[in-house]
Structure 1
Amino acid sequence: MALNDYLRILRQRGWIIILLAILTAGAAFGFSRIQRTVYESSLKLLVRPARSDYGQSQAARELLGNYEQWLNSGYRAQDVINILQLDMEANELLGDVTVASDRLGMVLQINVENTDPDLGNDIVRTWGELLIQWQNAENDKNRQEDRITIEFQDDPKVVGASPNVNINTAAGGVFGALLGIIVIFVLEWIESGVVRRAEDVERYLDIPVVGRIPGQ
């Protein structure tokens, strides 16, 4: 089709795109608003060897994987539940926690999702404190120069929340617009064999119309 055909279609049926975009954006907005907001609290832990030589630093990096496994445990979840007196099961709490490590920066990161941002910060702080206490106990068994220190990089903080109403609303509007375009082209395809105007004859047969029968 020529550019004029597309412009004609938009003039005639553009309202379909606008209507569907508004409807789907409104639906996405309403759905997002009725969902309970889940906040993500994050804590970063710095891992520092007592010596800065390559061997000790490399050993500390190798331990990051062990720290991840130690933190990602139902035992740790139960300890946090006992300390904070939470009314939930260990597996339930563990499902809200993710642990990751950055070996280059020698940083451990713990993330916790919770509908209460303050409680989420308390959970992630307690989780980090458990690792620090455990490592301090391990350090007591080692010589001073072989010890590894773990400390908070900063206080726990909320780094995100879901659902994101603005993003969901925008995505709903885009989806509705795309759906409207599809609907328009389906309608055009259905009506492509129907000739209603002289311009349709000229477009389909590529011949000029020299006359027409007047309507009765």
Structure 2
Amino acid sequence: MVSTGPGPNTPRAQNPEDEYILSFGDILRMLWRRLWLIALSMLLFLGAALGYSSVQRPTYEASIKLWVGQAQERDASETNLSASDVQGLQILTITVAEAIDTRRVAEAVIEESGVSTAPGELMNDLSVEPIPETQFVRVKYEDPDPLTAQRIANAYGEVSSDQVSEISSDASAVTATMWDPATLPDEDNIVNPKPARDAVLALVLGTMVGISLAFVLESLDDRLRSAEHVARASGAPVVGTIPGSTTRIRKKT
């Protein structure tokens, strides 16, 4: 009996050797071949970041420190604060910080400083944070004009001090004293742009994009570059090579 081979529509058995997995050495060689692409991606991202930074108007930051205290009736013999007193003052400091970052204070600051801006916009450029384990609150304000940044930061200190005193009772009066007023910001107080930071981020992002593109191009490249690749693609051992051959061999599909 004569047996016939598989028909044209019979699926061919999957050969494990048809699936080629890149080794670490293959990846390194691939990255070396595509080094130009990675470098180009890095340069493009770096140029874009530096170009964007060069056209950005600098933003200056001015900051103040407020000291938060509380007047309490205590015995003349008591000279040290108890643990509960210290904890209470730290909680009070957090409360004062939250009170400063409100629309009510922003409206009073606008009136005090004479700036023409909406309270919401003023609060967007404001940063208020209690300094951990202290009775200090740091208030920061950012503006393209260093004089405006200084004026508004100091206005926040004055307004906060007045409003905290107004709402405190005489028995346990809470105070927020301007401890360290804002000075005129200089180049060291520029918060944006930061060319060095932007350049580093651009290089990292450009490298990642370049490597990703290198893998994409490698997956689309069907050229066989070594005897090992030929053996894996054909499923047969390589018995010899032709030195200096420039013929392109295509992977079988």
Contact 2:143 2:149 in 1 (8 A): yes
Q: RMSD in angstroms over aligned alpha carbons?
A: 3.1
TM-score, normalisation: structure 1: 0.79
| Pair 119,11 (structure 1): closer, same or farther in 2 beyond 3 Å | same
Query: Which residue in 2 is equivalent to 1:178?
Result: 208
Query: Which position in structure 2 is the counterpart of 1:36?
Result: 57
Counterpart of 1:118, as a letter, is L
Q: Which one has a bigger Cα radius of gyration?
A: 2
1:84 Cα deviation (Å)? 1.9
Match status 1:130 vs 2:159: yes
For residues 4 and 75 of structure 1, do their structure 2 counterparts lie closer, same or farther at Cα, with a shift above 3 Å needed? closer
Is 1:106 equivalent to 2:131 in the alignment?
Answer: no
| CA–CA separation in structure 2 for the residues paired with 1:174 and 1:215 | 36
Matches within 5 A, 1:199-214: 200-202=229-231, 204=233, 205=235, 207-210=237-240, 212=242
Native 8 Å contact 1:201 1:209 kept in 2: no
Tell me the SS of whatever aligns to 2:115. Answer: coil
Preserved contact between residue 49 and residue 57 of structure 1 (Cα < 8 Å) = no
Q: Could you tell me how far apart the structure 2 residues matched to 1:166 and 1:47 are?
A: 37
Quick check: which one's helix share is greater?
1
1:80 is the counterpart of 2:109: yes
Distance 1:59 1:76 in 2: 23
Name the CA distance, whole Å, in 1 between partners of 2:28 and 2:181: 57
Shift of 1:119: 1.4
CA distance in 2: counterparts of 1:133 and 1:6, whole angstroms:
66
Counterparts of 1:119 and 1:129, CA distance in 2: 15
1:71 Cα deviation from its structure 2 partner: 1.8
Q: Is the 8 Å Cα contact of residues 105 and 160 (structure 2) preserved in structure 1?
A: no
1:15: how far off?
0.8
Q: How far did residue 30 of structure 1 move?
A: 0.8
Are 1:61 and 2:90 matched, yes or no? yes
Contact persistence 1:80–1:123 (CA under 8 A): yes
Unpaired stretches in structure 1, ≥5 consecutive residues: none
Count residues with an aligned counterpart.
212
What CA distance in whole angstroms lies between the structure 1 residues aligned with 2:216 and 2:87? 63
Map of 2:10 onto structure 1: none
Determine if contact 2:64/2:157 at 8 Å carries over to the other structure: yes
Taking structure 2 as the reference length, the TM-score comes to 0.69
How far is the alpha carbon of 1:18 from its aligned partner? 0.7
What SS does the aligned partner of 1:153 have? strand
User: Offset of 1:208 from its aligned partner?
Assistant: 3.1
8 Å Cα contact 1:49/1:56 also seen in 2:
no
Query: Given that residues 60 and 148 in structure 1 are in contact (C-alpha distance below 8 angstroms), is that contact kept between their aligned partners in structure 2?
Result: no
Q: For the Cα contact (< 8 Å) 1:39–1:161, is it kept in 2? A: yes
Q: Is the 8 A contact 2:58 2:190 kept in 1?
A: no
Q: CA distance change for structure 1 residues 61 and 201 in 2, over 3 Å: closer, same or farther?
A: closer
Among all aligned residue pairs of Structure 1 and Structure 2, give the percentage whose two residues are the same amino acid.
26
Higher relative contact order (CA 8 A, sep 6+): 1
Output the amino acid matched with 1:169: A
Cα deviation, 1:61-117, whole Å, max 9, x if unaligned, reads: 343344234322323222222222212122221222232224621222212121112
User: In the alignment, residue 166 of structure 1 is paired with which amino acid?
Assistant: A
Measured against aligned partners, the alpha-carbon deviations of 1:121-154 in whole angstroms (never above 9, x if no partner) come to 2111111111223344567x625xx444432332
1:42 & 1:62 partners in 2: Cα distance?
Answer: 22
Q: 1:8 to 1:151 in 2, by over 3 A?
A: same
Decide which moves more: 94-103 or 36-45.
94-103
Are residue 12 (structure 1) and residue 30 (structure 2) matched?
no
Match in the other structure for 1:155: 181
